[in-house]
Structure 1
Amino acid sequence: MKRREVLAVLAAGAIAEVSTSEALESEARYTNEISLPKPNLAGKVSLEEAIQRRRSVRAFRPDALPVETVGQLLWAGQGVTSEDGKRAAPSAGALYALELYAVTAAEVMHYLPHGHRGETRATSDMRPELRALALGQASVGAAPLVIAVGADPGRLTQRYGARANVYTDIEAGHATQNILLQAAALGLAAVPVGAVDGPKAARALALPHGQTVVYLIPVGFAA
């Protein structure tokens, strides 16, 4: 084999190794699976009251939210609400392009709608990095909980083609409004943050290939 051919083979191997490494690093390793407390289906605040109360609030107390509250918020966004697997927020073709991630000072939790569960991994505090990727918006760094709405339009492409991105964005709006109304019903402050560098936020959170972040939702008790 000529020297040029040898160098080409070595270079190809190096590229493959880097690509494999990047692929491994781009997906989170969750170390613990938890069952979340059963969601409350009979709240004390009516839908109309929650709509009336909902406002974008950007100043938060640092108090951590209980796990049942985090679970309730995630359920409102993507929880399974029927025996045939339909979820709280509508999705084009019931293909469900979204994934929800709860980011706190100590961990990231990926919500698993079926069975109302979560898989968690301990991390350094990701909120400052997410804040930087959201044009420095203080609410992202201040809230004790930031829900990242991840999206994979590829799940819709086979059926909807070029409309997949549009339908994914619509779905994200449905789920985000559900979460905001649930926060209002629980007496919490929240704000939807759409000005975020989605691909970089996805890499920071080590989301699977194909997913981007379309929304960040800081949630907590109002300061």
Structure 2
Amino acid sequence: MKRRELLVGLAAGALAAGSTSQAQQSHAPYTNEISLPKANTTGKVSLEEAIEQRRSVRRYGPNPLPVESIGQLLWAGQGITSADGKRASPSAGALYPLELYVVTATEVMHYLPQGHRAETRTSPDLRPKLQALALGQASVGAAPAVLVIAADAGRLSARYGARAQAYTDHEVGHAAQNMLLEATVLGLVAVPIAAVDGPKAARALALPHAQKAVYLIPVGFPA
């Protein structure tokens, strides 16, 4: 009987530990919501000029990005651009598996396309941790802002089955290129980084359990 009670106790302990682990994986609450400045749709740099000028740059000036620039970058990646809710980058079945985040020295921002808003929470500087999870690439820790493209391929699974992951990966590329070109238009510099431990980065950022960080884009003013 004692052995059985011991086994039951161990099982209960394991369940409790599992519950604790799941609780730790729950996403961190955001404490503030802001309206982002209206996106500018009449830039002074042509698409062709932006394509020609875009380069991957890994050194940045120290100044933080103004909220207008951050909002414009997020809009370019996932902003709503039509009355029926279509977004700036294409999505299979208009199911939109991507989520955009911005990490600075003091906060984490989550983009809300509906209404062009963002929810924010103050945070210790997570850029060094993201740098460590991106093979130590210095640009991640040095940039005043790091754009994070996270994805939940499960949003496509019901319709596309085994193709959902590939379609999601394609969408990451679409959104990233939009934001890189927008950075060029704004006079900013950036670099896309795919060498990141996505699940660990998602945990470091306290993202919802189904989301994985796929792409990091350090961005800032030219050094």
Judge same fold: TM > 0.5, yes or no: yes
Band the TM-score falls in, shorter-chain normalisation: over 0.9
Task: Find the counterpart in structure 2 of residue 20 from structure 1.
Answer: 19
Equivalent residue for 1:84?
Answer: 84
| Residue 102 (str. 1) matches residue 102 (str. 2) | yes
Aligned to 2:141: 141
Structure 2 equivalent of residue 119 of structure 1? 119
CA RMSD, 1 decimal: 1.1
Secondary structure in 2 matching 1:130: helix
TM-score for both structures, normalised by structure 2: 0.96
SS of the residue corresponding to residue 136 of structure 1 reads coil
SS at match of 1:213: strand
Distance in 2 between residues matched to 1:41 and 1:99, nearest whole Å:
22
Identity of aligned residues (%): 67
Q: In the alignment, which residue of structure 2 is the partner of 1:200?
A: 200
- Larger displacement relative to structure 2 (176-185 or 155-164): 155-164
Are positions 1:8 and 2:7 aligned together? yes
- The aligned amino acid for 2:193 is V
Residue identity in the other structure for 1:217? I
Partner of 1:46: 46
2:161 maps to amino acid:
G
Amino acid at match of 1:12: A
Comparing 22-31 and 12-21, the one that deviates more: 12-21
Give, in whole Å, the separation in 1 of the partners of 2:85 and 2:5: 54
Q: Distance in 2 between the 1:51 and 1:57 partners?
A: 15
What letter matches 1:198 in structure 2? Answer: G
Q: Distance in 2 between matches of 1:198 and 1:31?
A: 25
* Separation in structure 1 between the aligned mates of residue 75 and residue 31 of structure 2, nearest angstrom: 22
Matches within 5 A, 1:56-71: 56-71=56-71
Task: Output the CA distance in 2 between the equivalents of 1:120 and 1:22.
Answer: 24
Matched letter for residue 20 of structure 2: S
How high is the TM-score relative to the length of structure 1? Answer: 0.96
Determine the structure 2 residue equivalent to 1:32.
32
Alpha-carbon deviation of 1:37?
1.0
- Gaps in structure 1 of 5+ consecutive residues: none
Distance in 2 between residues matched to 1:24 and 1:101, nearest whole Å: 21
- CA drift of 1:213 comes to 0.9
User: Any idea what the Cα deviations from partners look like across 1:164-191, whole Å, max 9, x if unmatched?
Assistant: 1100100000000000000000010000
Q: Which runs of 5+ in 2 are unaligned?
A: none
Structure-to-structure mapping, 1:110-189, within 5 angstroms: 110-189=110-189
Name the residue aligned to 1:222.
Answer: 222
After superposing the two structures, state which structure 1 stretch, 4-13 or 147-156, moved more. 4-13
2:73 match: 73
Structure 2 Cα separation of the partners of residues 23 and 116 of structure 1:
31
Q: Measure the CA separation in 2 of the matches of 1:33 and 1:12.
A: 42
Displacement of 1:109: 0.5
Aligned to 2:55: 55
Aligned residues between the structures: 222
Deviations 1:7-65 (A, max 9, x none): 33333332232222222222121111111111111111111111111100000011100
**Which whole-Å CA distance do the structure 1 matches of 2:30 and 2:215 have between them?**
22
